Every structure is written in structure tokens, then in C-alpha cells.
């Protein structure tokens, strides 16, 4: 697995956020970083949907947050906002 690619585009390496949690090759820090990126992407898609813009592949924000919680991590600091 290309960890750098997974961090930039989690969907390129994982089908669900739970797969990140269950991966034995990644450190806890890498898992959290990947999930934070996934959270950011999911929030961006929510904003795009609110602005009637077509989104990309959809992953539930709730699934990402649940995976972060499972790892004992909190939501990421960078949250997109509608402009």
C-alpha cells in the first residue's frame, strides 16, 4: 500500500473508514491522519451538495467520525464552511 497516496486520497486505498481502523500495517497516527483527510473530504462534499454542486464518491461523515471515535481520536481542526 502507498501510504502517502492513501493519506491524500483515502478512497484510493480503502472502501470504508472502518477498513482504516482495522488495517494492521498503519500506525495509529497514520490511521488518524487518513481519517482526518476523509473527514475533510466528506465535509467538502456536504458543502458542495448544499450549493447544488455535483459531488464525487460519497462516504458518510458519520462513518468517518465513528472510525475516529473507535481509535480514540477527535474530529479534525480544518472544517470547510459554506462561502
Q: Which residue range(s) make up the domain with 39?
A: 3-70
The Cα-based distances of 51 to 54, 55, 63, 67 in angstroms read: 9, 10, 23, 27
Cα separation of the two ends of the chain: 36
Determine, yes or no, domain membership for 33: yes
Determine, yes or no, domain membership for 17: yes
Determine, yes or no, domain membership for 78: no
The Cα-based distances of 75 to 5, 35, 68 in angstroms read: 21, 9, 7
Query: Going residue by residue through the chain (83 aa), what tens digit of pLDDT does each one get?
Result: 899 999 999 999 999 999 999 999 999 999 999 999 999 998 888 776 566 666 555 678 999 999 999 999 988 765 555 55
Provide the pLDDT for residue 44.
86
pTM, whole model, 2 decimals?
Answer: 0.80
Q: Please tell me the total count of domains within the chain.
A: 1
Amino acid at each position: 500500500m502507498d501510504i502517502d497516496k492513501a493519506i491524500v486520497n483515502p478512497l484510493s486505498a480503502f472502501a470504508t473508514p472502518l477498513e482504516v481502523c482495522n488495517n494492521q500495517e498503519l500506525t495509529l497516527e497514520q490511521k488518524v491522519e487518513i481519517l482526518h483527510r476523509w473527514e475533510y473530504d466528506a465535509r467538502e462534499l456536504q458543502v458542495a451538495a448544499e450549493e447544488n454542486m455535483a459531488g464525487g464518491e460519497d462516504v458518510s461523515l458519520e462513518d468517518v467520525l465513528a472510525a475516529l471515535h473507535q481509535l480514540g481520536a477527535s474530529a479534525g481542526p480544518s472544517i470547510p464552511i459554506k462561502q
